[in-house]
Amino acid sequence: MSQVIPSKYSAVVVDTASGKVLYQANANSRRYPASLTKMMTLYVLFEDLERGRFKLSTPLKVSSYAALQAPTKLGLRAGDKISVEDAIKGLITRSANDAAATIGENVAGSIPAFAERMTRTARAIGMTNTRFRNANGLPDPGQYTSAHDMMVLGVALQVRFPQYFPYFSTQSFVFRGKVIGNHNHLLGRVDGVDGIKTGYVNASGFNIVTSVKRDGRKLVVVVMGGKTAAQRDAHVVELINTYLPKATRARGYDSDLIAAVKAAPKVAGAVAAPQEEEEEVTQVRMPSHPNPVPRPAVAASMEMASADPAMLPPAAIPDAAPVTRDLAPAPAEVAAAPAPQPAPVLPQAPKSLAEATLPASLANSRLPSSAAEAFADVPPPPAPAPDAMAALVNQSQQRQATYQVASVESDLAEVAPPPAKANRQAKAQSDRDVVTGSVSSTSEGSGWIIQIGAVGSKKAARDLLDKARSSAGSQLAKADPIMEPFSKGGQTYVRARFGGFGSEKAATKACAALKKSDFSCFTIRL
């Protein structure tokens, strides 16, 4: 079985002592960073720690927005406080989305302001093909990076913050009486690996940035687009074993490799981004957000079928020149946008990998397209340990035995089994006849909506909406119920939504009320 998804795969291996790129594949192609985003979140936090704005013991206040982030998280509640050091460890081990949002809001006052500082910092240290939109890496079509840029960040963290970089080797820590383990399974298992971060969303595949130091040699290895966590890790080990012997034995880091990092100001985010780069972003439009593919750990039976290339890298590669092996053609060049200010997004996956793009409204949503899929990196643990996401879904099923709901149309949505073949066609036709319930075009076309599930029929959607309204009390008294049919994988589903919210605050408040009654939900701006 191949280790990577060709359309999403990119990688780079660099000898940090000599600066020589020993291996690369699609290294400058745009990719979704997923939870690799948290590396920059920590870089910015380390800047403020270094200049004394925070201490490791400083308490960070948790907002309702941070508490409502999708899993994986530490379970922080609005009004809680968490120390800077625990937040750091929470990001590095559990890849906690609530802790990342908490850091962003406490450092910059808001997530948009923090994301802007992250992007400015990226530019200052030499990451020329990266833009951040949030602090945790949950899906946003305007957030992108490249394997090369993630390599730069992996090196920068070591060079710029040697006093804090050891946190990335944390294998576990105790938080509120519970032991939190690290998702990076290479730590403690591969000789010389000392960090740094894993990441996963459906649209990116399984990502990792790895630092390894052994026998006087040093590498930073980036792999993006792994098909599963285990296959990604196996590919990283293969790259390490192939290229570490080719690295230079030397202390320190190549001066050219770290020149931008050394030249950057102590607080790189304070530097204005180059004007031409800002203009470039507003003048281009890239293809739309690729539709997620099934999560391998929980939906293995729905894993996509594709003709995958042979294992990489080759057994013997000359030392004379860097190696480039492209598994898939580079995305097409972006075209000039007809609209004045479109948001930049990543290249669309080939039709063989995705049949449709996400709704445009999801481009502005605060949560991922499926909270149940845990769009942070939750790699499938080695047998016989239970899968973290399977446990989460099972808990959801126990709480909602009558209404088994995922937060959006996902391949993990718990819906009734498909009907017998004789009845399937009639049921599909019935579901296609579902119309938006008691919603005017005005309420559906502006403001904010909240989505509480994607179920298998209009009756299930109606029942779910009725139960949600009765559970949320006054928060949904004036909301408009919406039933929206869609097809996926040959099956028809129905989204259950409430519309008519005039502000994000009102939608978030209603969503919070639903979550107290064990309903999944997220907000969408129309």
Work out how many domains the chain is built from and give that number.
2
| Percent of the chain whose predicted confidence (pLDDT) is above 70 | 66
**Based on the domain organization, do 405 and 279 belong to the same domain?**
no
**Per the residue annotation, which of 2, 10, 18, 95 is the catalytic one?**
95
pLDDT tens-digit readout, 12-54: 999 999 999 999 999 999 999 999 999 999 999 999 999 999 9
Helices 111-124 and 37-50 meet at what angle, rounded to 10? 90
Residue 213: strand pairing partners: 218
Is 222 among the domain residues?
Answer: yes
267 shares its domain with 408: no
Q: How far is CA 80 from the centre of its chain?
A: 24
Select from 258, 285, 312 the last residue of a domain. 285
Cα gap 525→509, rounded to integer Å = 14
On the CB side of 347, CA atoms within 13 Å amount to 21
Q: Which domain holds residue 436?
A: 400-525
- Examine the residue annotation and report whether 430 is marked as an active-site residue of this protein: no
Q: Which two tokens stand for residue 367?
A: 């949560």
Last residue of a domain, one of 252, 285, 318: 285
Tell whether 20 and 148 lie within a shared domain.
yes
Cα(174)–Cα(94) distance, rounded to whole angstroms? 11
> What CATH number is associated with residue 427?
3.30.70.1070
Which of 7, 18, 20, 38 does the annotation list as catalytic? 38
Helices then strands, counting H and E runs in the chain, come out as 14, 16
Residue pair 293/8 in contact by the 8 Å Cβ criterion: no
Q: Report yes or no on 94 lying in a domain.
A: yes
Ranges of residues in the chain whose predicted pLDDT is under 50: 1, 273-446
Residue 315 falls within a domain, yes or no?
A: no
| CA atoms in the 13 A half-sphere facing the CB of 490 | 7
Q: Is 18 a catalytic residue?
A: no
Q: Is residue 357 part of a domain?
A: no
Q: How far apart are CA 225 and CA 418, in angstroms?
A: 31
The conformation of residue 358, written as its DSSP 8-state character, comes to: P
Q: What angle (nearest 5°) sits at the alpha carbon of residue 186, between those of residues 183 and 189?
A: 125
For residue 301, being part of any structural domain is answered with no
Tell the burial category of 326 from Cβ atoms under 10 Å away from its Cβ (0-12, 13-18, 19+).
middle
Residues 6+ apart with CB under 8 A from 228: 206, 296, 297, 379, 380
* One domain for residues 268 and 412: no
Q: Which long-range contacts (CB under 8 A, 24 or more apart) does 336-343 make?
A: 336/283, 336/284, 336/285, 337/283, 337/284, 337/285, 338/285, 339/285, 340/282, 341/282, 342/282, 342/284, 342/285, 343/141, 343/142
Query: What pTM does this model have?
Result: 0.57
Considering the domain architecture, whether residues 264 and 130 belong to the same structural domain is answered as: yes
Residue type, 50: E
Which of 261, 285, 309 represents a domain boundary (last residue)? 285
Question: Is there a domain that residue 269 lies in?
Answer: yes
Q: Catalytic pick from 10, 29, 35, 520?
A: 35
38 is catalytic: yes
Q: CA-to-CA distance for 201 and 368, rounded, in angstroms?
A: 9
Q: Give me Rg for the CA atoms of the chain.
A: 23
What's the DSSP call for residue 192?
A: T
Closest CA to 368 of 292, 296, 455: 292
**Tokens 């031409």 identify what position?**
276
387/359 Cα distance (integer angstroms): 29
Residue 344 lies inside a defined structural domain of this protein:
no
Residues pairing with 198 in the sheet: 208
Q: Give me the CATH number covering residue 219.
A: 3.40.710.10
- Give yes or no: residues 274 and 406 share one domain: no
Domain-located, residue 277: yes
- Dmax of the chain from CA atoms? 71
430 and 281 co-located in one domain: no
